[in-house]
Structure formats: C-alpha cells, structure tokens
Amino acid sequence: MVYLSENTDTLTEEFLIRGKPFLSQQRSAKIEQYGSQRDRIDGCAAYLLLRYALFREYGICEAPLFTFGEHEKPFLQDYPAVYFNLSHCKTAVGCIVSEHDTAIDVTDRRRVRNNVFRRVCSKKEQEQLAVSDDPDNCFLRMWTRKECLAKLTGEGMSRPFHTITDEWQQAANVYTEEHSSCILSYYAETPLSVITVSVEELFKTLESI
C-alpha cells in the first residue's frame, strides 16, 4: 500500500518535538546529523509514516530498525520479508510497504527550466515535452518515474538520468498519480491504493499503539 502526507511544508519544530518519542534511537541519531531543520522535520515525518504503514498493514508496533544492503538500500532489520521505501519533497512525504521489492518517489508541482529537460530526458522524451500542452507536469511525471526506477535497486542512481526511461523492463510496473501538491510514482506488481494520512491521524494511531 502507498501512504501519503501532504502539506508537510507547514510542519514546524513543534512537530519534531512531538514526533521524537516515536523514533528509534537509530533513526533519531541519523536525523540529528541532518544539516537543516527542514530535513530533520521531513526525516521524522517519513519515519512516522512508515511506522503508521507497518502497524496498519502488518500490526508491527515497535519502532523499526534499518539495515542496509547493496548500494545502501535500507531494509527492515527484524522483518526481512517486508519491503519499504520512503520519499519526501518540500510539500509531501510518501511511504510504500510491500511483500515485494519496491520504491517510491514524490516531487512538488513546480516550474521546470528548459535546460533541465535537456539534461535529464532522452531525445524521445524531449520530443514528447516539445508537443505537450503542459511540459512542466509532463516532465515531473517522467522525473518521478526515473527516480523510482533508480531507487528500486540503487544501481540507477549512478546512471545519467537520460538513460533511465520507460523502455526499462521494470518501468511496466511503475504507476504514477497526481495529487494536489505533488506527483508520485511507485513500483509495484499491480496498482495500489494511495491513502492520504493527516498529521493528527498519524499521531492518533501512533499514540494508541
């Protein structure tokens, strides 16, 4: 299942203070290393959304610990059969949990400079953007799909993004949705429901565990 919290750009230090008791010691130490308060808030929000998803899907109550595989892709230390992935942007946080390897990417709706099109997109994709009625939105859909494919194994992160396209075999299982503040793509064997979770619902659930 896919879980999404929107409008996370409105979260403040108060959210971070309220959320810290729900972090594992491992995750808390990692978040403290982040350079900006914004990154610390987003990192906390992503982890809490993961805890929410794991409780809802699998009844897992404890704060999960991470272990890291090849290319530093994270896994759940105590639940190796459960896969997850996290993503955040300025306005949203996304989480996916699955019994199969998976990935997710979320990005803000925004204007995109033309030089970014040329750097990130293949020639075929640039041609699609050139005839699009909404090239910014079209590009952001492409971008989240590329990010998702790159994150799937971690190998793609070292590749130039113009070489990561829908011609990849795995792209057939990447699904893209548009939401009010963001666009997201996720990798799954079949389309999944995207469940929007408010901050209050997040805390209400975690406080009940």
What confidence score (pLDDT) does residue 72 get? 79
Classified as helix, coil or strand, 114 is helix
Tens-digit pLDDT string for the chain (209 aa): 999 999 999 999 999 999 999 999 999 999 999 999 999 999 999 999 999 999 999 999 999 999 998 777 899 999 999 999 999 999 999 999 999 999 999 999 999 988 899 999 999 999 999 999 999 999 999 999 999 999 997 877 788 999 999 999 999 999 999 998 999 999 999 999 999 999 999 999 999 99
For 25-48, letters b (16+ CB in 10 Å) and e give eebbeebeeeeeeeebbbbbbbbb
Q: How far apart are CA 77 and CA 150, in angstroms?
A: 23
Picking from 75, 11, 72, 74, the residue whose alpha carbon sits closest to that of residue 45 is: 11
* Structural domain count of the chain: 1
What confidence score (pLDDT) does residue 146 get? 97
What confidence score (pLDDT) does residue 71 get? 74
List the structure tokens of 46: 């992503």
- CA triple 61-204-59, angle to 5 deg: 25
What confidence score (pLDDT) does residue 114 get? 86
What confidence score (pLDDT) does residue 69 get? 82
What confidence score (pLDDT) does residue 170 get? 96
Q: How far apart are CA 95 and CA 195, in angstroms?
A: 10
List the structure tokens of 101: 């390897």
Conformation bin of residue 181: beta by default, left when phi > 0, alpha when psi is -120 to 50:
alpha
Domain that holds residue 55: 2-208
CB 109 within 8 A of CB 183: yes
CB 86 within 8 A of CB 46: yes
Q: How far apart are CA 84 and CA 98, in angstroms?
A: 6
For 49-77, letters b (16+ CB in 10 Å) and e give bbbbbbbeeeebeebbeeeeeeeebbbbe
List the structure tokens of 146: 């590329």
What confidence score (pLDDT) does residue 154 get? 80
What confidence score (pLDDT) does residue 116 get? 92
CATH code assigned at 23: 3.90.470.20
pTM: 0.95
